[in-house]
Structure 1
Amino acid sequence: MKLFSYSSCSTCRRAIKWLENNDISFELVDILKSPPSKEMLISASELYGHRKYLLNTSGAIYRSMGSDVVKKMTDNELFEKLFIEPRLIKRPFLFKSSKCFLVGFKEEMWSEKLLRNSN
């Protein structure tokens, strides 16, 4: 299991603490140095049902681009942009398997997927 995280992200720190408190082993990956692959991003988008769930809409880069620009991007353009500018990816980004991605940290969702579900 890989947790793509950003060291100054308080939500990422909460997720790390939650994983540690629940004795869940994971590989911590700096999302800026080694972002999720385009394939991972595409799979997560398909699993969530829409690419918008992958976007860090509160970040400065997203706000400077504007939602209209992002909406006009093709999927290929967007996934390429997310890969080269990982600060656009909502964090933390957890990859457990091709059928289990968690984007952002919501304790209820993480509990359901990681403590009660074996995907």
Structure 2
Amino acid sequence: MKIYHNFQCSKSNCALELIKENGITPQIVDYLKNTPSKEELIMLLSMLNMKPFDIIRKNEVIFQKNYFGKIFTDEQWLDILLLHPELIERPIVVKNGKAVIARPAERLLELL
């Protein structure tokens, strides 16, 4: 199991705790310091069955100031997510080729 994690996020920390409570030691990816590659992000989106815009944190200041109300292609949104990884919704949990955005944390039970 792998979790794309932000240590400063309470929701992400709840999901990590729930994983550990289930006896799993996940691979933790601090995606703000180790931003996924474009290929990895595309793979995650495929597992989530989502488009880049679907995983954008739309309340973030960067989104509100720079991108709110603007239309971009999926390719452009991917580039924006790579430029601003803090816009990626969190946490994303992956197991055996499946992924969920664990908000609320109980969503990750789909993978257990």
Q: Same-fold call, TM > 0.5?
A: yes
Aligned to 2:17: 17
Given that residues 90 and 104 in structure 1 are in contact (C-alpha distance below 8 angstroms), is that contact kept between their aligned partners in structure 2? Answer: no
Residue correspondences, number: 111
Distance 1:39 1:96 in 2: 18
Residue 35 of structure 1 and its aligned partner are, at CA, apart by 1.6
The unaligned stretches of length 5 or more in structure 1 are: none
Residue 90 of structure 1 and its aligned partner are, at CA, apart by 0.1
Per-residue CA shift, 1:18-57, capped at 9, x if unaligned? 1111112211121111122222322333342433331112
How big is the alpha-carbon RMSD for the aligned residues of Structure 1 and Structure 2?
1.9
Aligned to 1:60: 61
Aligned to 2:4: 4
How has the CA–CA distance of structure 1 residues 84 and 64 changed in structure 2, closer, same or farther, with 3 Å as cutoff? same
Aligned to 2:109: 111
The alignment's TM-score, normalised by the length of structure 1, stands at: 0.78
Per-residue CA shift, 1:40-94, capped at 9, x if unaligned? 322333342433331112222222224322xx11111111111121001001122
Aligned to 1:83: 82
